[in-house]
Amino acid sequence: MSTLPSLSPGQAEEVRALGRRAADADGVAALSEQTLLSLAAPEGTVEHVLAYAAGRLGAYAQCQPTDGGDGEGPSVELVVDPPVRRQGLGSAVWAAVEARDPRARVWAHGALPSARGFAAARRLEPVRELHKMARPLTGADATGEAAGAATALPAGFSARTFVPGKDEAAWLETNAAAFAHHPEQGRLTLADLRERMDQPWFDPAGFIVVEADEAPGRVAAFHWTKVDPEQRATTDPAATAGEVYVVGVHPAYQGRGLARPLTALGLAHLAGLGLPEVVLYVDGDNTGALRTYSSLGFRDIMVDVMYSRAVHARV
């Protein structure tokens, strides 16, 4: 087993292949977008733990340092190749992760039975939940006339699309303010934003920003949608779900009725592309957002659970 500060392109490819084998077997991906992006991260950004079994990569964990001084340990994703599970590989990799930082917290995407059994065996407790919610898209969404999901903004606000090269700083400011208490989203930097803008799925037409008449050039709120072109190419295009990637309202403009029409504006964009469904991810303790999305017709389809050593459990 080795713990590395960076991966070679070949090692990164081995991890992607392991991730694909596990996702095929589990029906859910253990490695998230951020983790896959960080396979190519410069030395020292994240830590990689690799364990080989029978000559090929058998287990992988990536530790993202999310400790912003609030005592939170690294955020970890861990995956074991299906043919070599139940042989102690996951436990060995996790022991290496915890030896480096006992506060480490590991994501179980979809809270699979294997992950729940593993967490119980390793005395890990749930500390965070992430809900994946979904809702069908209709013709009424495309025209902004869906019942309960109208796109008309309150007076004094107007919507337009994000302009690359112009809106970055204003967006980062509003994102940081809107997600000040969010462990990942609130800490996005200009480099993180540019990394996402360089991805094949990035489309400014699906990145809606709202301006207040009183503060032109500033971002009062935004709704960033995402459509994965890889998924569109490899599955039936008509079956691809669009995503409410992130919705944020600057605290100065919260409580003014922006969230629902802003969400509906993104749904109108996705429905206009002919997509049949929309998904989103929201933290289990974000009751306001959960309520907004439920009232817009979203329902839970999966819950991700983050586990940590019992002594550090918070919920």
Ligand X SMILES: CC(C)(COP(=O)(O)OP(=O)(O)OC[C@H]1O[C@@H](n2cnc3c(N)ncnc32)[C@H](O)[C@@H]1OP(=O)(O)O)[C@@H](O)C(=O)NCCC(=O)NCCS
User: Helix, strand, coil proportions of the chain in percent (round to 5)?
Assistant: 35, 30, 35
Smallest distance from the beta carbon of 114 to ligand X, in angstroms?
3
Would you count residue 63 as binding ligand X (CB under 6 A)?
no
| Rounded Cα gap, residues 159 and 219, in angstroms | 10
Would you count residue 18 as binding ligand X (CB under 6 A)?
no
Q: Which residue number is nearest to ligand X in terms of Cβ?
A: 117
- x/- letters, 114..153, toward ligand X (CB under 6 A): xx-xxx-x--------------------------------
* Structure token pair of residue 297: 């017709």
Would you count residue 19 as binding ligand X (CB under 6 A)?
no
Rg of the chain, C-alpha, whole Å: 20
Judged by DSSP in three states, 250 sits in coil
Smallest distance from the beta carbon of 104 to ligand X, in angstroms?
11
Would you count residue 212 as binding ligand X (CB under 6 A)?
no
Contact predicate 210/219, CB 8 Å? yes
Segment interacting with ligand X (CB under 6 A) among 72-80, 210-218, 230-238, 243-251: 72-80
Nearer to ligand X, 111 or 259 (CB): 111
Nearer to ligand X, 290 or 303 (CB): 303
Would you count residue 83 as binding ligand X (CB under 6 A)?
no
Interface with ligand X (CB under 6 A), residue total: 24
Place of tokens 């208490």: 181
Binding residue (CB under 6 A) for ligand X from 50, 89, 178, 264: 89
Interface contacts to ligand X, rule CB under 6 A:
22, 26, 30, 78-80, 85-91, 106, 108, 112-115, 117-119, 121, 307
